[in-house]
Amino acid sequence: MKRLLTLSTALGLVTGAAMAQDTLTISVYSFGMDAMTEAVFGPFEEICGCDVVIETGNSVERMAKIEANAANPVIDMAVMSAHDALALARKDLLQPLDVSQIPSHGDLYASAQDPIGGNFAVGYGFYATSIVYRSDLVEINSWADLLSDDLSGRVALPNITGTQGPLTLHMLDIALGNNDISFAATIGAVGAHADDIVTFYNRSSELAQLMLQEEVIAAPIGRFAWSRFSGADLPFAWAEPIEGQTGGMNVMVMTKDNGNEALAYQFMDYWLSTEVQTRVAEALLDSPANAKVVVSDEIAESLTYGAELINSLNMLDPAAIIDNREAWLENWNENVVN
Amino acid sequence: MFQNNREGLALALPAAVFTAILFLLPIGMLLSEAFQVDGHWSLRGYLDFASKPLNQTVFWRSLKLAGLVAMTSAVIGYACAFCIINLDGKNRGRIFGLIVLPLMISPVARTYAWIVILGRTGIVNDAIIGLGLSDTPIRILFTETAVFIGLLQLFLPLMIISLISSMENLPKDVIAASRVLGASWLQVFTKVILPLTKDGLVLGGTLVFTGSLTAYITPAILGGSKVLMLETLLYQRVNVANDFVSAGVIATILIVMSFGANILLKRIAAIRS
């Protein structure tokens, strides 16, 4: 498959060589692409007088592309989850960032300044994860309520294959008093309740539809999807469980030896600047990692915003995710979906 | 048509090169990876795959659902096709248009519609409660039943079209003749219609079986992670575990099963004749 990716990007390499020197190739999430172009990519092109070439896809595709073209990087800069960034750093595909080239770096929350160590990444957005539920039908006080009899047949959990899955297991693990990074007992508990769980969803849009048609009345979800529920006619609420909320961080990375470092640093600094982070937050595209960003209460309601909330997030260590996810998946496949 | 074969071959060359480079070569590379472990030729990928209970469950579930959908399509397809070929020209065209119409709608849209229809507040559950068959809504979504219904709706038109095409070539008098000679309707079907329309059945059966086996959207949306099929498992292995060996193994199994189904149906048809 990696050879296939190399083959498929060969054409891109040929055309890339013919491009003007001031071209920055970035690999980003496809979410809100038009809005991101308007808020970030387009204005940056005007400032730098360069072309920003955008590559999108899911995380695995984008990571595989970076790996397949390691000898001759096509991508200059990429954004991804912190644990995906750590996986690339461990494969020696990233270069440490010279943070002196990113003046906005000092404005970031402390946890976003060097999230995976070695300055291999810098955080640009946070998200909280908690439980959205129908406040007229059920009360949620703990993550353990997800497996309660009250929610039998009316609850959905995120699939372990997505970002939210391990986070949910992490909080269930705490709530059930297991505190074991193998999640063995917790996955066993989920497996014992598998018939009570409507589905293990993959996308927030999928969950939103199920909750809006009253198939599901409670499920864990990232705050970035809260706007799908907050404006609905049904009474949805955002839980504040006694174990707290979990969450994650998306980061920027620079591919190793891409030869376009100066432009990539300029772009990263631009994206992390207070001005752009504010614009992105106000468009509800990402929750800011820049501590100087100020938004209205209405906007903040839909974001993971503010030092108090961000510092309270019970995040899962990126290294723990990489080291354990294959075992989690095996265990999950055996005990939950088999 | 051409003055010599070279002209014909020269004209076919661009298409052949295009197919070889962009289809056959990538498929070959993909399949070859399923036979390589750590850079060496090996069957370990297949042995590892076969040894895992989940993979076994998913394999048999995929085979069972694809087989059930193909058989059910054949039963419904014969009834529909027989009715349609006996309609007059104008009505036949109208009904045929209605059968073809769903094929023009995106499978994603069609499958999402089932989420509403099969949901707790959908018309199926409304009918079940209304008829007094249950006091509370029953869960249909994210079960094998939901996947079966979705796949059947998706691929039934292909079976009907294949059978209509085959039945149109059926001599008009054979059914009447066999009835006059005392054959029951069951005998008419098994001794006359089935043997004379076997090509359509083989074609339709292959299309429906392989379509059901390799469909991704419908099992992913209506079955979710709780009803994994080979295609959804393949996606999981690639996109989560970055496990291209298992993905290659699954892809190979799907290709072999698709060809196998076609060969098996042809053999069965040959036995009958």
B205: pLDDT strictly greater than 70: yes
Average pLDDT over residues B45-71: 94
Domain with CATH 3.40.190.10 in chain A: 2-126+249-305, 127-247+317-335
Confidence of residue A76 (pLDDT cuts 50, 70, 90): very high
Judged by CB atoms closer than 8 Å, whether chains meet at A337 and B228 is answered as yes
Confidence of residue A208 (pLDDT cuts 50, 70, 90): very high
When the pLDDT of each residue in chain B is averaged and rounded to a whole number, the result is: 90
Distance CA A44, CA A22 (A): 12
Q: What is the pLDDT of residue B32?
A: 83
A119: pLDDT strictly greater than 80: yes
Confirm if A148 and A284 have CB atoms less than 8 A apart.
Answer: no
Give me the CATH topology for the region A127-247+317-335: D-Maltodextrin-Binding Protein; domain 2 (3.40.190)
Specify if B109 maps to a domain.
no
Q: What is the pLDDT of residue A19?
A: 45
Judged by CB atoms closer than 8 Å, whether chains meet at B119 and A64 is answered as no
Confidence of residue A273 (pLDDT cuts 50, 70, 90): very high
For the domain covering A2-126+249-305, report its CATH number.
3.40.190.10
Closest CA to A118 of A268, A329, A319, A298: A319
Residue A249 phi/psi, 5° resolution? -140, 140
A99: pLDDT strictly greater than 60: yes
Q: Which long-range contacts (CB under 8 A, 24 or more apart) does A59-62 make?
A: A59/A84, A60/B238, A60/B239, A60/B240, A60/B242, A61/B239, A62/A27
Burial of A201 (0-12, 13-18, 19+ CB in 10 A): buried
Find the residue in A nearest to B141 (Cα): A198
Distance CA B244, CA B234 (A): 9
Are B240 and B200 members of one domain? yes
Average pLDDT over residues A275-287: 95
Distance CA A316, CA A168 (A): 10
| Pairing mode, strands B36-37 and B40-41 | antiparallel
Q: What is the pLDDT of residue B26?
A: 85
B132: pLDDT strictly greater than 50: yes
In angstroms, what separates the C-alpha of B143 from chain A's closest C-alpha? 9
Find the residue in A nearest to B142 (Cα): A199
Helical spans, DSSP H, in A97-203: 110-113, 164-175, 184-192
Q: What is the pLDDT of residue A12?
A: 45
Confirm if B77 and B160 have CB atoms less than 8 A apart.
Answer: yes
Judged by CB atoms closer than 8 Å, whether chains meet at B225 and A4 is answered as no
Specify if B97 maps to a domain.
no
Judging contacts by C-beta atoms under 8 Å, the chain A residues touching residue B220 are 202
Q: What is the pLDDT of residue A268?
A: 98
Residue A7 contacts B, CB cutoff 8 Å: yes
Confirm if A216 and A156 have CB atoms less than 8 A apart.
Answer: yes
Residue A214 contacts B, CB cutoff 8 Å: yes
**How many domains, chain B?**
2
Residue B116 contacts A, CB cutoff 8 Å: yes
Give the CB-side neighbour count of residue A262, counting CA atoms within 13 A: 5
In angstroms, what separates the C-alpha of A168 from chain B's closest C-alpha? 16
Are B221 and B165 members of one domain? yes
Average pLDDT over residues A49-61: 90
Q: What is the pLDDT of residue A203?
A: 85
What domain range includes position B83?
Answer: 48-87+142-272
When the pLDDT of each residue in chain A is averaged and rounded to a whole number, the result is: 92
Are B17 and B64 members of one domain? no
Instruction: Please tell me whether the overall predicted TM-score, pTM, comes out greater than 0.80 for this model.
Output: yes
Confirm if B65 and B212 have CB atoms less than 8 A apart.
Answer: yes
Please report, for the domain that includes residue B54, its CATH number: 1.10.3720.10
Average pLDDT over residues A108-135: 97
Specify if B223 maps to a domain.
yes
Q: What is the pLDDT of residue B273?
A: 54
Instruction: Tell me the per-residue pLDDT of B144-179, one tens digit each, with 9 for 90 and over.
Output: 999 999 999 999 999 999 999 999 988 888 999 999
